[in-house]
Amino acid sequence: MSSTADLLARRNRTIGPYSPLFYREPLQFVAAKGVWFTEASGDRYLDGYNNVPHVGHANERVVRALADQAATLNVHTRYLNDRVIDYSERLLATFADDLDRVFFGNSGSEANELALRISRQLTGATGVIVSDYSYHGTTIALAEMTTGLETREPLGAHVRAIRIPDLDRDSRPEADVLAATLSEVDAAIASLQEAGFGVAACLFDPLFSTEGMPRVPEGLLPEIASRVRVAGGLVIADEVQSGFGRTGSHMWGHELTALSPDLVTMGKPMGNGHPMSAVVTSEPVLDAFGSRNEFFNTFAGNPVSAAVGEAVLLEMEEHGMMARARSLGRTARAHLDGVADSYDFVRAAKGTGMFLGLDFAVDGAPAPELAARVVEEMKARKVLISRIGRDQSVLKVRPPLAFGEAELPILLDALDASLASVRA
């Protein structure tokens, strides 16, 4: 086994130093099972961060489904296959009745790209409204909508980015905050129309994950959606992070926020690490796009992906993972609320279900350096978390949904100890 220093040097000479690594001293994992990683040293680390291994790292059912189907048949969708249709039905059954059609893809980026393409074709417009600190993927179209991150392309001329408010950081009454944001949306729509782009879509992560899980005014997303619809645009919910029961209370993040999207995109946890994604939509939208485009995606929706996707849904169901995320999330959130009350540098607890955070601030100003120190302190205690947000001041606790009752106290104890050592 290479030493960390050797491996780092070889990495820099091959894939380069620009692809980000976590931690001042990067970790080199050799295995993972359930919610535990094994490091090269043999030490075990608790995974409080990764959402892709949704039903647990190296989940037996998923691995077996993948291997069995790969050993039986793996082919594109130009032939009939019952596994693929079984999975489509099972996935669609998790949605409201009007979201009853699915396109498959291989990554979250691909799903968002397709949702935008559909929106453009159906509306004849190109304008898109996003949040001003969001991430939706790697393609050119999506990079033109990614704002605030260091790797951005210039904002597209047809893109308007609005600022998502956070009531935890805003002293105005909630109704005023809502009204101010909606007038920003109205201005964005007017500006897209004046410039001749029109409004093709709005694209939001219902939990505003990248933005740092702001506490938004009640009804914000439905209000934005209705304005976008009046302007002729479609509503896209990017559920790459918020989907598949992450919130504990709902299978899909948009349900939590009472948003009724025209298109829902998903990825990351869908295949527990096997690359797969989807756009879920309604029959009229699928027909309008499908009848005009021969859409074929070589690897998407193949029987191996279907077998894996189905195994993920079955594992979630059989182990009651959503209900557990809900109850553990409640316990964890109550603990974090207590932390926010007792530490003057913690502005607020954030999130719901198995997606939680703490926002650090000193004298009202974001304190990213404190968040960074806590992340390192947690690592020293062998628990993995990260941070998010416009200012990178919000801790990101987003473990696999396989996270259990035994693990929560380990994570919370490590957090308490880390906070105490940062305060000291």
Applying CB under 6 A, the residues found at the interface with ligand PMP are 107-109, 112, 135-138, 205, 209, 238, 240-241, 267
Nearer to ligand PMP by Cβ, of 21 and 30: the residue is 21
In the bound complex, what is the minimum distance in angstroms from residue 207's beta carbon to ligand PMP? 9
Q: CB of residue 149 vs ligand PMP: minimum separation in angstroms?
A: 10
Nearer to ligand PMP, 241 or 352 (CB): 241
Based on CB atoms, which residue is closest to ligand PMP, 138 or 193? 138
Closer to ligand PMP by CB, 241 or 247: give it. Answer: 241
Instruction: Name the minimum Å distance from CB 109 to ligand PMP.
Output: 3
| Least distance between ligand PMP and beta carbon 44 (Å) | 26
Beta carbon nearer to ligand PMP, 184 or 205: 205
State which residue, 273 or 303, has the beta carbon closest to ligand PMP.
273
- Please identify the residue of the shown chain whose CB is closest to the bound ligand PMP: 108
Minimum Å gap between C-beta 49 and ligand PMP is 13
Helix count (H) and strand count (E) of the chain?
Answer: 13, 16
* CB 4 to ligand PMP: min, Å: 25
Q: How far apart are CA 263 and CA 275, in angstroms?
A: 20
The end-to-end CA distance of the chain, in Å, is: 38
As measured in angstroms, the least distance from the Cβ of 67 to ligand PMP is 23
To ligand PMP, the closest distance from the beta carbon of 12 in angstroms equals 23
Name the nearest CA neighbour of 190 among 129, 239, 256. 129
Nearer to ligand PMP, 198 or 389 (CB): 389
86/153 with CB nearer ligand PMP: 153
Identify the CA nearest to 408 among candidates 324, 320, 313: 324
Smallest separation (angstroms) from ligand PMP to the CB of 198: 24
The 10 Å Cβ neighbour count of residue 344 is 11
288-292 long-range contacts, CB within 8 A, separation 24+: 288/121, 288/122, 289/117, 289/118, 289/121, 289/122, 292/121
Burial 357-394 (b: 16+ CB within 10 A, else e): bbbbbeeeebbbebbbbbbebbbebbbbbbbbbbbbbb
Contacts of 150 by beta carbon, 8 Å cutoff, 6+ apart: none
In degrees rounded to 5, what are phi and psi of residue 353? 60, -135
Across the beta sheet with 29-33, what order do the strands follow?
Answer: 29-33, 36-39, 44-47, 383-384
Using CA of residue 363, residue 364, residue 368, residue 372, what is the dihedral sign? positive
Q: Tokens in use for 187?
A: 């201005």
Listing DSSP states for 144-167 in one string gives TT--SSTTPPPPPTTEEEEPPP-G
Kindly state the smallest distance separating residue 240's Cβ from ligand PMP, in Å.
4
Tell me how far apart the alpha carbons of residues 209 and 149 are, in angstroms, rounded to a whole number: 13
Given the complex with ligand PMP, which of 281 and 418 has the nearer CB atom?
Answer: 281
Judged by CB, which is closer to ligand PMP: 75, or 149? Answer: 149
Q: Which residues pair with 358 in a beta bridge?
A: 349
212 — alpha (psi -120 to 50), left (phi > 0) or beta? left
